[in-house]
């Protein structure tokens, strides 16, 4: 089945990026969130990203208008009814994801693939909320979606070969490099590697071994990574890192290495008190 129309659930950091790249390859897109203000914010982010492309001469105003014209924002689930593919990017909460998938299962045609952009959670568990587990797959994009090249295509226990093949093909159409994660395991490949490195960076600061600035300098110049772990946590959001780490602790035998450091919990509390940046490690307003 040719994928001509895509529903993206969630208009946040990941959802609006996914909606944008689907529209850029010519698909009609419904971007659904629960409140109008979230939808509008998502559409504004897409507009801003595309405007930069126009400024840099990468696309014309007409191209930009055409991409925006293909994206319809909605707060209504029924708007996702007649699509050929669903990509879910709601909050990293398993109960929320299961309820969204149950609803999508009743709403969309039975042959439609239901993909989740979860960072860590079980595809098999999400699929169990539907009557079509063979059509449920992980489609894990990276932030910022229009720039990051990788998509991890993740098999749940029942995901069919056809679903993996179709998801891989569509990811390639979006210009992405794909890898197949053959087993449904927490954090898949990238986050299984990335989260422990963030946690270790926090422990180094917590133990007074080095400052966050020096940890970032060390990682960028010693490992040749483009960003330090603290810069990366500011971009991705420390709460997501924390939820993923807690999930690892629960799912991977409660080993000590997955225990979240106290400083991580403190930073999340600080963020709840109103810090604007992702984790609040750096105050960008002063830069
Ligand atoms: N932020 C990252 O770097 C990153 C990277 C890869 C994957 N992910 C994963 O992508 C997903 C989304 O993360 P995010 O960073 O975009 O979060 P976000 O908080 O920026 O956006 C999530 C959006 O989902 C909306 N939402 C909640 N319930 C909904 C529902 N029932 N229907 C539609 N929308 C609903 C929220 O209102 C919010 O706007 C999570 O599973 C996350 O783990 C995040």
At 50-73, the pLDDT tens digits run 999 999 999 999 999 999 999 999
- Residue 197 annotated to the active site: no
75-90 pLDDT tens trace: 999 999 999 999 999 9
Question: Mean pLDDT over residues 230-256, rounded?
Answer: 88
- Least confident span in 137-146, 212-221, 233-242: 233-242
User: By alpha-carbon position, which residue is closest to atom 15 of ligand 1?
Assistant: 13
Burial of 285 (0-12, 13-18, 19+ CB in 10 A): exposed
Distance between Cα 240 and ligand 1 center (Å): 10
What is the predicted pLDDT for the residue at 254?
A: 82
- Cα(118) to ligand 1 centroid in Å equals 9
Name the burial class of residue 179, with classes exposed (0-12), middle (13-18) and buried (19+) by CB atoms within 10 angstroms of its CB.
middle
d(CA 37, CA 218): 40
Is 119 considered catalytic here? yes
45 lines ligand 1 (CB under 6 A): no
Q: What's the pLDDT at 146?
A: 98
Task: Tell me, yes or no, if 171 is annotated catalytic.
Answer: no
Query: What is the average per-residue pLDDT within 176-191?
Result: 96
Q: Residue 261: CB within 6 Å of ligand 1?
A: no
140 in active site: yes
Cα 202 to Cα 137, 166, 261: the distances in Å are: 32, 39, 7
Instruction: Say if pTM beats, i.e. exceeds, 0.75.
Output: yes
Contacts of 283 (CB under 8 A, 6+ apart): 277
Which of 13, 103, 236, when mutated, tests ligand 1's pocket best, judged by the most ligand atoms within 8 Å of its CB?
A: 13
Q: Output the pLDDT for position 134.
A: 98
What does the pLDDT read at residue 278? Answer: 53
116 lines ligand 1 (CB under 6 A): no
**Main-chain dihedrals φ then ψ at residue 150, nearest 5 degrees:** -90, 145
Binding site membership of 65 for ligand 1 (Cβ less than 6 Å): no
């Amino acid at each position: 089945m040719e994928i001509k129309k895509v529903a993206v659930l969630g208009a946040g950091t990941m959802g609006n990026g996914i909606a944008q790249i689907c529209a850029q390859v010519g698909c009609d897109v419904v971007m659904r969130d629960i409140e109008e203000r979230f939808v509008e914010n998502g559409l504004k982010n897409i507009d801003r990203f595309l405007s930069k492309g126009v400024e840099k001469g990468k696309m014309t105003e007409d191209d930009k208008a055409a991409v925006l014209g293909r994206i319809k924002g909605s707060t209504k689930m029924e708007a996702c009814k007649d699509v050929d593919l669903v990509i879910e990017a709601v909050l990293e909460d398993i109960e929320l994801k299961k309820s969204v998938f149950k609803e999508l299962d009743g709403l969309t045609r039975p042959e439609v693939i239901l993909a989740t952009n979860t960072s860590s959670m079980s595809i098999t568990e999400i699929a169990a909320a539907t009557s079509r587990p063979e059509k449920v797959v992980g489609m894990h994009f990276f932030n910022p979606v229009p720039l990051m090249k990788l998509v991890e295509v993740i098999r749940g226990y029942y995901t069919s070969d056809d679903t993996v093949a179709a998801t891989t093909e569509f990811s390639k159409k979006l210009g992405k490099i794909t890898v197949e994660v053959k087993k449904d395991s927490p954090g898949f490949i990238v986050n299984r590697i990335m989260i422990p490195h963030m946690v270790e960076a926090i422990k180094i600061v917590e133990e007074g071994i080095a400052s966050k600035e020096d940890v970032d300098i060390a990682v960028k110049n010693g490992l040749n990574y483009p960003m330090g772990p603290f810069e990366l946590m500011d971009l991705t959001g420390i709460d997501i890192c924390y939820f993923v780490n807690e999930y690892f602790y629960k799912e991977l035998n409660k080993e000590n290495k997955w225990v979240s450091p106290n400083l991580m919990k403190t930073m999340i509390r600080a963020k709840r008190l109103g810090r604007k940046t992702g984790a609040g490690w750096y105050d960008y307003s002063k830069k």
